[in-house]
Amino acid sequence: MTAPTAAVSADHEGLGSPRWGGFDPARTRGRGWTDLRRSFAVATRLGWQMEANWTDPLLFFIYSVAKPVASALILVVMLDVISGGAKPEYRAFVVVGSALWAFVLSGVSGLAWTILDDRERYRMLKYVYVSPSEFLAVLLGRGVARVGVGAVGAAITLAVGVVILGVPFDPGRIDWPLLAVVLVLGLVAVLAIGLLLASVCLQTRQESWSYPEAAGGALFLVSGVVFPLAVLPGPVQVLSLVTPLTWWIEGIRRALFPGGITAIGGQGAIFTQLTGAAGPTPAQIVVALLATGAVATLAAAAAFRASDRRAKDRGLLDQTTGS
Amino acid sequence: MSILRTTPKRPSVSGRNPFVYRPTASPQAAAEWTRRQIAMTNLRTVVGRAYPRVTGLFREKSWVFFEILLPFLSTSAFVFVYRALQAPPQYIGFVVLGGAMTAFWLNVIWMMAQQLWWEKSQGNLELYFAAPMHIMAVLFGMAFGGFVMSSTRAAAVLIIATAVYGVTFSVDQWALLIGVFLLTLAALYGLGMLLASLFLMWGREAWHLTQLLVEPVYFVSGLNFPIARLGVLGSVAISILPLAVGLDAMRQLAFAGAAYPIGTPSPLVEAAILVVMVVVFLVLSRWALAVLERRARQEGRLSVRWQ
């Protein structure tokens, strides 16, 4: 008769101790990149399931699109009330800005809501935290699912803008290399800001559901989303220029609508006063996005580490609150 | 010797048995409450449910930044849109007034409509139903606590933005303006109570419905522009959305004589619409709660979580 312990002998990848009976530290190291990738993939899939498995596709589509389209319509009506439809180029400006903002809000809120969802609603955060998966990889994976939903919403808002609201768009004029570069760099910057807010939500109570939206509202003011930065006071314009989202939105506008209104340059803009140019060139946009995005990413990583340490110190990982 | 004889006598407070409200001859008699007892218990429920919301304001200081400063900046973004378009100054006033009222709407959908569903997920809902109080008292408490929370945010946005952007109000009928404001709040929180029951039935979908009720409602309510611009859609919104009708009436009263497309009913008519909304929403919410409770008891769903 075979001994039952044979199934977990050290010859196999089981849970048993090594044959010599001691502790093998190699087993605690995991498989590095492979484990990280697997954690990220599983978290992304889980995030998507949690976002979308509760309803039929049509309903989910309506939910995903109604918000960004309504945001764009608010601005279009505001524009029409004042100009009476006399500024079609400005209509393109606000439609593109609000479409992209849907993507930003999804990315920013995705990571923060993951913390709140898992800690307050499902009460699984502590279990996820102590699992062998890298916590940051899980968090980013869950956030990516929401970014995907936001990207669909942004694309459809742009399509609504072109087809229904008459935004002039020529696919033949798209600057594809610029679009590809700014999309990737922008995604990193959006996730970095999301991570920063996740760090905040790790410290706060249940009501922080609205914090990402509130922070998004503040960034909306300084990122040149729906009006040129030149109308802002000088110090706020400087703040805008060190925000990666400003350069990201400018880059996408420039890639999709070459020759359109610039949010960064123009009469009264700090950028124009400093450089003498009417607007930034594509190369300047990429370099500025790279620099500001790197700073945001480093700041987010540092804030997350500090928040993580404090949460462990004060027992906030399994905190639940109510009001 | 029996156990009963060895059990020590229960301590009494002022000569009364501390485990019942008043000395009674039997458990049946203890269960018969006077109207005063019922009213007092429900009043205590309102205070008790409002308490964590009001106290929470003072316990977590971060809300000052996230709930007051950031929403002010968000409102400012729309002010700058109008400035970029060189719009007349009253439009900036519209944005400021709309920005202040969003505090109440967000509170209604996040902390009223979703709340019963959230309580179910937290495991509190069955306790509410099992306690000797009316569930409407819980909803009133939530509404009152939420109103206090939102008022601070709304007042801050209104005061700061008025000072920073130089908004000038022109009010001829203060009493009507205050009356419309209070009616708007009553109708909003009445709608919140109704949605709380409906969201509980809809379960997990409620979370996404909350998302759906932000920007689309802002749009059809004419948050940042005169609602008359929306034509038929605006008229429909005025007849069913307290935010739309209340905001339009308040704008007409706070910027009397301002030149902008009106085309909507007079403030007095809109106040009457709000009165109807208050009655309808409160009656419907009470009915919806009764239906929900019966269904939930029949189907055993009061304590089912995360669905």
Task: Provide ipTM, 2 decimals.
Answer: 0.80
Which B-chain residues 276-305 have CB contacts (< 8 A) with chain A? none
The distance of A295 to chain B (nearest Cα, Å) reads: 22
- Nearest residue of A to residue B225, measured between CA atoms: A78
Asked whether the beta carbons of residue B111 and residue A323 sit closer than 8 angstroms, the reply is yes
The answer to whether the beta carbons of residues A183 and A125 sit under 8 Å apart is: no
Through-space distance between the first and last CA atoms of chain A, rounded to whole angstroms = 62
H-type helices in B166-240, by residue range? 174-202, 205-212, 215-220, 232-240
> Residue B4: which pLDDT band, with cuts at 50, 70 and 90?
very low
DSSP assigned state of B13? B
Asked whether the beta carbons of residue A121 and residue B110 sit closer than 8 angstroms, the reply is no
Task: Provide the mean pLDDT of chain A.
Answer: 85
What is the model's pTM? 0.81
Give per-residue pLDDT as tens, B169-226: 888 899 999 999 999 999 999 999 888 888 877 776 776 777 778 889 999 998 888 8
On whether any CB of chain B is under 8 Å from the CB of A80, the answer is yes
Structure tokens at A173: 């004029």
What is the rounded CA–CA span in Å between residue B166 and residue B118? Answer: 41
Which B-chain residues 104-123 have CB contacts (< 8 A) with chain A? 106, 110-111, 118, 121-122
What is the four-CA torsion angle of A278, A279, A284, A285, rounded to 10 degrees? Answer: 180
Give per-residue pLDDT as tens, A203-244: 887 667 778 878 888 899 999 998 999 999 999 999 999 999
Cβ contacts of B299 within 8 Å, gap of 6 or more:
none
Which A-chain residues 218-247 have CB contacts (< 8 A) with chain B? 218, 220-221, 225-228, 231-232
What is the rounded CA–CA span in Å between residue A258 and residue B7? Answer: 89
Asked whether the beta carbons of residue B212 and residue A67 sit closer than 8 angstroms, the reply is yes
What's at B72, amino acid-wise? F
Q: Which of B170, B196, B190 is nearest to B293 (CA)?
A: B196
What is the rounded CA–CA span in Å between residue A24 and residue B86? Answer: 72
What is the rounded CA–CA span in Å between residue A220 and residue A210? Answer: 15
Which B-chain residues 196-235 have CB contacts (< 8 A) with chain A? 204-205, 208-209, 211-212, 214-216, 218-219, 223-226, 229-230
- Nearest residue of B to residue A83, measured between CA atoms: B85
The answer to whether the beta carbons of residues A110 and A143 sit under 8 Å apart is: yes
Q: Which residues of A touch B218 (CB under 8 A)?
A: 70, 74
The distance of A267 to chain B (nearest Cα, Å) reads: 12
Give per-residue pLDDT as tens, B33-89: 888 889 999 999 999 999 988 887 777 777 777 777 777 888 899 999 898 888 888
Give residue B231's pLDDT: 86
Phi, psi at B225, each rounded to 5°:
-150, 160
Q: Which of B50, B277, B283 is nearest to B183 (CA)?
A: B277
The answer to whether the beta carbons of residues B66 and A212 sit under 8 Å apart is: no
Which A-chain residues 106-145 have CB contacts (< 8 A) with chain B? 121-122
Give residue B21's pLDDT: 58
Chain A / chain B CB contacts < 8 angstroms: 130
| Count of other CB atoms within 10 angstroms of residue B293 | 15
pLDDT of chain A, 323 residues: tens digit per residue? 444 444 444 455 556 676 777 777 766 777 788 888 999 999 999 988 887 776 667 777 787 788 888 988 998 888 888 877 667 778 888 888 989 988 898 888 888 888 988 888 888 889 999 888 889 999 999 888 888 888 888 898 899 889 988 888 888 989 999 999 999 999 999 999 999 999 998 988 766 777 887 888 889 999 999 899 999 999 999 999 999 999 999 999 999 988 888 999 888 899 999 998 988 999 999 999 999 999 999 999 999 999 999 999 988 888 777 65
